[in-house]
Amino acid sequence: MKARLFDFFSCLAIAACLLIWSGCDVDSATEYLGPMGPASMSAPNDTGHADSTTDWTSTSVPSASIEQTAVAPVDGALTVYFFDVGQGDATLLAGPNWTIVIDAGRHNRSDVVPHLQSAGVESIDLLIGTHPHADHIGQFPQILETFPVREVWMCGESHSSRTFERALDAILSSGAAYHEPRAGESYRMGSALIEVLHPVELTGNLNESSICVRVTFGQVSVVLTGDAEAASERAMIQRGHNLSAQILRLGHHGSETSSTREFLEAVRPEVAIYSAGEGNSYGHPHDVVLQRLARMGIPVLGTDRHGTIHVQTDGTTYQVTSERGSWMASAPDQPVLVR
């Protein structure tokens, strides 16, 4: 999908900052305004052209002011669900009145919609397909047919698979807005800050083009990197992004292609979480990654062993619980693991 599908544009020059919802390109990251957000809308930020009724706002703030934003009081709580969807990925970030879904499970299963429904999801503000592999966008059609979806992000890579074609058809039919985010963009959803860490450009390597994000809610951050591998991890470090996060969703299902020591040192997670299918044929997660985490003293939970994993935070502390019992409670920088 090279063309922008449902592009829209905010008219910047009009004094009243009226938003015009029509077909214009959204190529400029720093001038991008998403569609109208839900009821609780926050004030504009430093882009200078946001509408006060928009809570889903692009920013291009320098890292210092990102840090400042990150410790601001938060509205409500954030729960992150790392769903057990077998050998695939599906993550829900549920705020007090907003919802982000990152990846949509495998093409040959139909478990993501039930997971979302049992988590209470009724609509989705942002649906991200990190990259076009069938274990990440597999259930896009079911999701887009079941829930109103405000906006979809894809990395922009193409794939010849039927799964990819079906996902594109579903996006087109849904009427959702569409965007291909690039590193350096940042957005606000309620009290959460969403920083795009990757990619800068497409390379044709689907895993390495994965959309990677850091989501910060108060003082608690989560980094999710799709199936990004070592080269992408290196690039994120070299670009100087603030990668620090208490929670790291391990790249590529805990594969040895990802979670390099350097990247783990840059993120400094207090807990690592991976999504993989029990007994999967890829050997995910790889022992080398588990051993690296163990040497660094980073506890790890996986959907194959623990089932669906939840991280709940009020912006100051967080708790990690899982379907099969393990849990962890912490204050920032003072994790306490309880098994």
Is residue 84 a contact residue for Zn ion (CB under 5 A)?
Answer: no
Total residues contacting Zn ion by CB under 5 A comes to: 4
Please say which residue, 171 or 250, places its beta carbon nearer to Zn ion. 250
- d(Cα 252, Cα 52) in Å, to the nearest integer? 39
Please say which residue, 125 or 227, places its beta carbon nearer to Zn ion. 227
Residue of 79, 207, 260, 313 interacting with Zn ion (CB under 5 A): 207
Each residue 24-53 as x (binds Zn ion by CB under 5 A) or -, in order, gives: ------------------------------
Which stretch, 127-135, 143-151, 188-196, 328-336, contacts Zn ion (CB under 5 A)?
127-135
- Using an 8 Å Cβ cutoff, are 245 and 222 in contact? yes
Which stretch, 71-79, 135-143, 153-161, 174-182, contacts Zn ion (CB under 5 A)?
135-143
Is residue 135 a contact residue for Zn ion (CB under 5 A)?
Answer: yes
Report DSSP state, residue 128. Answer: E
Question: What tokens appear for 328 in the block?
Answer: 């962890």
Which stretch, 18-26, 68-76, 227-235, 266-274, contacts Zn ion (CB under 5 A)?
227-235
Min. distance of Cβ 248 from Zn ion in angstroms?
A: 16
Please say which residue, 98 or 140, places its beta carbon nearer to Zn ion. 140
- Using an 8 Å Cβ cutoff, are 136 and 159 in contact? no
- Spatial CA neighbour of 264 closest among 285, 233, 291, 238: 233
Min. distance of Cβ 222 from Zn ion in angstroms?
A: 18
What DSSP string describes 19-45?
EE-SS-----GGG-B-S---SS-----
Which stretch, 120-128, 158-166, 202-210, 259-267, contacts Zn ion (CB under 5 A)?
202-210
Is residue 227 a contact residue for Zn ion (CB under 5 A)?
Answer: yes
The per-residue b/e assignment along 282-303, b for 16 or more CB within 10 angstroms, e otherwise, is eebbbeebbebbeeeebbbbbb
Phi, psi angles (nearest 5°) of residue 235: -65, -40
Task: Report helix, strand and coil shares of the chain as percent, to nearest 5.
Answer: 20, 25, 50
Please say which residue, 133 or 241, places its beta carbon nearer to Zn ion. 133
Question: What tokens appear for 312 in the block?
Answer: 């709940």
- d(Cα 269, Cα 298) in Å, to the nearest integer? 7
For the four alpha carbons of 210, 214, 312 and 188, in that order, the dihedral sign comes to negative
- d(Cα 104, Cα 43) in Å, to the nearest integer? 31
- Measured in whole angstroms, the distance separating CA 256 from the mean position of its chain's CA atoms is 21
Min. distance of Cβ 5 from Zn ion in angstroms?
A: 22
Which stretch, 44-52, 115-123, 125-133, 175-183, contacts Zn ion (CB under 5 A)?
125-133
Please say which residue, 219 or 258, places its beta carbon nearer to Zn ion. 258
Please say which residue, 191 or 207, places its beta carbon nearer to Zn ion. 207
Min. distance of Cβ 137 from Zn ion in angstroms?
A: 10
* Positions 255 through 284 that interact with Zn ion (CB under 5 A): none
Min. distance of Cβ 65 from Zn ion in angstroms?
A: 34
Which stretch, 43-51, 90-98, 134-142, 179-187, contacts Zn ion (CB under 5 A)?
134-142
- d(Cα 240, Cα 183) in Å, to the nearest integer? 11
Cα angle 148, 153, 157; round to 5: 135
> Which residues form the interface with Zn ion (CB under 5 A)?
133, 135, 207, 227
